[in-house]
Structure 1
């Protein structure tokens, strides 16, 4: 067998081996263990201590139920794999009559994540989180 034929055979064999590995390779792990189409909130940085997860795209939750507001740690890291934004709200005790009692304090855009969100005051001091167009 000529050298060029041997090299071609080796190249084809190597290509098939690599293709076989690509087919059987496991999928990449989800960020922070948060699955596709989920919103995940963590009480600790670096995606540790998941306290809340949902697949719902138009609902609100009181963060105190999950230990995700003052006086607890708040939302210290997050992953939003939902197709909608998540919005944080806080109670406005002195709202004028007829005005909403809830103020939008920021949000988590769809497709975003943070391993340390502790520098944002509202991630530790908001009362509700809502997905999509839901409001408290």
Structure 2
């Protein structure tokens, strides 16, 4: 028990950082970032981005099937798209600047987000 506590303290002090498991506590979204979570109630933070004019292909790049919860601390809105295949997509809605949802359902299934003036470029996923 003492050895585990010392190991955790050493890892934290060494900069590796020890955090609570996603099931233990909600994960905060940093200032000026978009945060996409795999779980509801801000659990399992999977994607963070500070870019205000880019598309994030979260299914292709991070394996995130859909957005279960989100926080948008960016100064711009975030458009969410669902991809029906690697070349076809449907606009689902916009996450407003400063917006958040603790239970977004299956928002953006197999999709991506675009911020600012960024536009989607296919293929969206393999």
- Answer yes or no: same fold by TM over 0.5: yes
TM-score tier, shorter chain, comes to: 0.5 to 0.7
1:51 alignment counterpart = 46
Take 1:90 and 1:114, find their aligned partners in 2: how far apart are those partners? 18
Q: Are the equivalent residues in 1 in contact too, given 2:54–2:116 (CA < 8 A)?
A: yes
1:67 deviation in Å? 2.5
How many residues are treated as equivalent by the alignment?
Answer: 93
SS in 1 for 2:103: coil
SS in 2 for 1:46: helix
Q: Are the equivalent residues in 2 in contact too, given 1:105–1:126 (CA < 8 A)?
A: no
Match for residue 90 of structure 1 among 77, 82, 93: 82
- State the TM-score, normalized to the length of structure 2: 0.65
2:64 alignment counterpart = 68
1:114 correspondence with 2:101:
yes
Take 2:81 and 2:45, find their aligned partners in 1: how far apart are those partners? 20
Q: Which runs of 5+ in 1 are unaligned?
A: 1-30, 94-99
Take 2:88 and 2:41, find their aligned partners in 1: how far apart are those partners? 33
- State the TM-score, normalized to the length of structure 1: 0.60
Greater per-residue helix proportion: 1
Q: Are the equivalent residues in 1 in contact too, given 2:40–2:104 (CA < 8 A)?
A: yes
